[in-house]
Amino acid sequence: MAYDATTGAAPRRSRRRNALLEALELFRAADPNVRLSTVLAFLYLCENEGFCISELAAASGMTLATASRASRSLIAPGAPGALAPALGLAELRPLGKVRALHLSPAGRDLRDRLDATIVQATTII
């Protein structure tokens, strides 16, 4: 709450941040340059653990290439195929001829924090 010296107005009450903004800030804290496709891939993965990349692409409406890049940016640094920012929120596990995406412990923690934020949500308006 800031005092407005030009008008002498009393401080305005600031409202609580909404759930969507809070969720985006959690991702920005992990990496300030995180792409929207990476955030979307993570959110789809939270709802559909075990998706392969082609299933992620179909569910999210991303191209296969975009879904692949987004998935690879979710895995840990140093993992085969990892791309920056390599957030460490997911793991790629072999599943027959394909690799399935699963949340890592850090990914489950972020999912739980997002769930808690949504439960306490306030409206934007």
Which CATH number fits the domain that encloses residue 71? 1.10.10.10
For residue 36, tell me if it sits in a domain: no
Task: Give domain status of residue 9, yes or no.
Answer: no
What mean pLDDT comes out for the span 100-121?
A: 90
Does residue 21 form part of some domain?
no
Q: Residue 55 sits in which domain range?
A: 46-119
DSSP string, the chain: ---BTTTTBPPPPPPPPPHHHHHHHHHHHH-TT--HHHHHHHHHHHHSTT-BHHHHHHHHT--HHHHHHHHHHHBPTTSTT--TT--S-EEEEEETTEEEEEE-HHHHHHHHHHHHHHHT-----
pTM: 0.80
Number of domains into which the chain is organized: 1
Residue 86's pLDDT is 94
1 pLDDT band (50/70/90 cuts)? very low
pLDDT 10s digits, 37-71:
999 999 999 999 999 999 999 999 999 999 999 99
Note whether residue 84 is domain-resident.
yes
Does a structural domain hold residue 54?
A: yes
